[in-house]
Structure formats: structure tokens, C-alpha cells
Amino acid sequence: MRMIYEQVGGVDVHKKQVTACRMRVTADKRIEWEVAEYGTTTVELLRLADWLAEWECTHVAMESTADYWKPVFNLLEGQTEVVLVNAQHVKKVPGRKTDASDAEWLAELQLHGLLRASFIPGKPQRALRELTRYRSTVVRERARVVNRVQKLLESANIKLSCVVTDVMGVSARAMLQELAAGRTDARALAELAKGRLRNKLPELEAALQGVVEPHHRFLLAHQLGHIEFLEEEIAALSAEIAQQLARMGPLPTAAAGSESPTSQDEAEAASLTWTEAVALLDTIPGVNERVAEVMLAEMGLDMSQFPTAEALIAWAGLAPGNHESGGKRYSGRTRKGNRALRSIMTQAAWSASRTKGTFLKARYHRLAARRGKNRAIVATARAMLESAWYMLSRHEPYHELGGDYYDERQKEHKVNRLTKQLTKLGFNVTLDPILAAA
């Protein structure tokens, strides 16, 4: 088999130790290799880097094992090209597995150029990823605490959620704080309502009459305090994310340090800053500033790393699977991909399905009627991600096709179908087109 590289390395990564193999092609076209074990502390990993540098390894392959690959990558980045691979793609023959053989297998595959590297963004984007992912974790924790508040209110016979849409709204939170402080007069609590909620004062008064014990007030006070703390954390993280985006400048132009001239499209993409990209993605229905920040943190600003929009969709895990055997097509369920991007795109798709007069809403309802809600949401998220790829590639805002896009595209077919239905119901149908206003 043809050898693509001459000095490579393979690293089998674990929590407490790593097993490394360095491999090179000698002058007489023979392959020699050595295997060594190191710890995972910084001092030990620096020794590993020096050991690989002795043979001038140009490429080092390792599996993406949990987060254990990150310390190794941090110290090898810049010294050599690190190829992070999916463990599913490099399985060995069963029954012959050891740490040393795994490292040798990775090095051998890399020697022949048979490994497909995973996408690893640069340091600024990795920092942005950690911030956005932690904020998403805190947001989910806040949602869990809010659910605990509602569960506690049910235990105390308080049916506030039956009258109020958001139990953490301004009016509802004021009522809960007074309830936690020991105030039990339902009429006085209902008077704390503001705005349109005051139209439901009788319902509020009935919902706030319960059996509130001392332990209910104790738990409610602590849960409300926990929610306030989480909201402060979310606000602090959002501010830090905004600062991180501002510190991340536009992409460097291809002309810098390159003899080939930069095309107009590349120049436009390079002039797009991260903050401008957030505003650009915010024009997609269902996408707000927070969703746009997560999208950029996961997929980045440079769309050239994904050859096509379909490649980005598959990387996010929103593309249908391909399982065919014997001429029969089996399950087409989506494959695994970037979980954070898939999750945020699914949330954005649910929001887009509720917007008024948009193409995305029309697409969702058109598919949901035939294929079900879950498939329709995935298809809508896929369409949104495809739009994001083109928007960032072309530096263009979202172009709304309108909620009547499908009707206009198949106007004659729809008119004929509706006419036949009315005829079957016993009506004579005459169609007179409406003249356009002068």
C-alpha cells in the first residue's frame, strides 16, 4: 500500500496514561516504530512531545476519547499536525486489542493517509464553545428548578400555573415571593397582578388558595433564590460571550502570506466579523442572538471548512442516514453529529414553526401533515442550517420566501385539486380571477 507520510505518530489516550507509537520510513523503504507510555500530567505530556519530535513526526493521530484528548492536543498543537479521529472509524480486529497495538494501528493508518480528521476549531473559537456550552447547561438547570417550583406549588394546592402562562413572570414571581415570606391572603396576592393579568383576578384568587406548610415556604424561598442566582450567572456568561465575540476579529484573508490572489467572495467572507455574523444569523426566523452565538461557536465563521451545505448538515447530525441492503432501503434515521449544534437548531426550528407568514412555518406544517412532527422539525432545522451556510458563505442576510411559497409554486395544481373536491361535494365551480389593482 502506498505510503503518504514518512514520519508519523499514534497516541492511544486514557485518563491516567497515554500509549504512543512513533513510526517512520527508513532510507531502504522499511518501516520502523517504537512504543512508549507516558502519564497525562503536563510534565509527562511535554516529554511525549519531545519524544515525538526526536523523529520529526509531521502528523500525530489520536482518538477522540471523551475529553481526555484535549490535554494532549493542547501541548502538541503548533508542534505537529494533530489528526483527531472518530474511534468508530478505526476499529481493529476483535480479540487483538491492547493499548500498544491501538497506538501502532493509528500510526500505521496515518502513515498510509487512511484517516479522516475531525474538525477542531482554533483557540478563540474553542473558548467561545466552552462559554456557550456552559451557558446552555445553566439555562437547562434553570428550567429544571422552575419545574421543581411548579411541582412544589402542586404539593401546596397552589394552581398558579393553570392561570399564568409563565410562573417566573413579573407578576407571578412577586406572588411567589410574598407566598414564601408567609403571606397567605389569596386576594392580596392576586392584587399583585399587573397588565392584562388583572383581567383574571377571580381566577388568580381561586388558584392562590392552598395548603401552604412551613416547609413549603422554606423550599420555595430557596428555589426562588436559586433561580435568581442562575439568572445572574446566565447574564454574566452572556456578557462574557459578547466580549469574546468582540475580541475575535475577522478571518484572515487568503492573500495574506499566499501568492494566489483573493477572490471577491473570499474577501467579503474575510471582512465579516463574529459580531456581524451574529446579527446576520439573527435574521433567520426562529433564531435569536443567543441561538446565533451557539451556532457560530459550534460551526465557526469560515464555511470553507465544509465543502457544501450538505456537509455541514451531515456534520451536525441532521442528515438522514443511509441504510440499504439487497435493494431495500431500511431505517433512514439521522446519524450522530455535533450534539450542541443539533440541539440548538432543533430548538430554533420549533420557534420558527410558530412564526407568522414564513416559509419555515409553511415547510413545517406541510411536512408534519405527511411525515409527522418529529421528522418535520428535523427537516426544518436542516433547512435553517442550510440557509446559515449560504448566508455566511455569501455574506448575505436571510431571504424570506413567504408563507405562500408552496402555494404559488404549485398554484395550478392546487386550484385543480380544490376544484375537484368542490365538484365532488355537489357544487358547480366557476373561477374568475381577481384583476390586479391599477
Last residue of a domain, one of 219, 246, 273: 246
Q: Is residue 275 a part of any domain in this protein?
A: yes
pTM: 0.85
Identify the CATH number of the domain in which residue 18 sits: 3.30.420.40
Amino acid at 90: V
Q: Which three cell numbers stand for residue 417?
A: 385539486
Do 290 and 226 have their domain in common? Answer: no
Average pLDDT, 10 consecutive residues per value, the chain (438 residues): 88 92 90 93 94 93 87 91 85 74 90 88 93 96 96 94 92 94 91 92 92 94 96 97 90 44 49 91 95 95 92 91 76 83 95 94 93 93 96 92 84 87 89 70
Q: Return the bridge partners of 31, or none.
A: 25
Q: Which three cell numbers stand for residue 385?
A: 442550517
Do 298 and 238 have their domain in common? Answer: no
Instruction: Give the residue from 102, 89, 112, 114 showing the smallest Cα distance to 5.
Output: 112
Strands of 288-415, DSSP E = 324-325, 328-329
Q: Is residue 424 a part of any domain in this protein?
A: no
Q: Is residue 400 a part of any domain in this protein?
A: no
Do 344 and 238 have their domain in common? Answer: no
User: Are the beta carbons of 180 and 217 closer than 8 angstroms?
Assistant: yes
Do 270 and 326 have their domain in common? Answer: yes
Q: Is residue 184 a part of any domain in this protein?
A: yes
Q: Is residue 370 a part of any domain in this protein?
A: yes
Do 279 and 224 have their domain in common? Answer: no
Do 220 and 285 have their domain in common? Answer: no
Instruction: Give the residue from 14, 35, 12 showing the smallest Cα distance to 23.
Output: 35
Domain that holds residue 374: 264-394
Q: Please tell me the number of Cα atoms within 13 Å of 403 on its side-chain side.
A: 10
* pLDDT for the residue numbered 65: 76
Backbone phi and psi for residue 114, each to the nearest 5 degrees, phi listed first: -100, 5
Q: Is residue 434 a part of any domain in this protein?
A: no
Q: Return the bridge partners of 84, or none.
A: 62
Q: Is residue 182 a part of any domain in this protein?
A: yes
Do 13 and 102 have their domain in common? Answer: yes
Q: Is residue 374 a part of any domain in this protein?
A: yes
What is the domain count for the chain?
A: 3
Do 241 and 281 have their domain in common? Answer: no
Q: Which three cell numbers stand for residue 341?
A: 449544534
CA distance 106 to 87: 10
Do 132 and 180 have their domain in common? Answer: yes
Do 291 and 353 have their domain in common? Answer: yes
Other Cβ atoms within 10 Å of 405 Cβ, number? 15
First-to-last alpha carbon distance for the chain, in angstroms, is: 74
Do 58 and 157 have their domain in common? Answer: no
* pLDDT for the residue numbered 437: 53
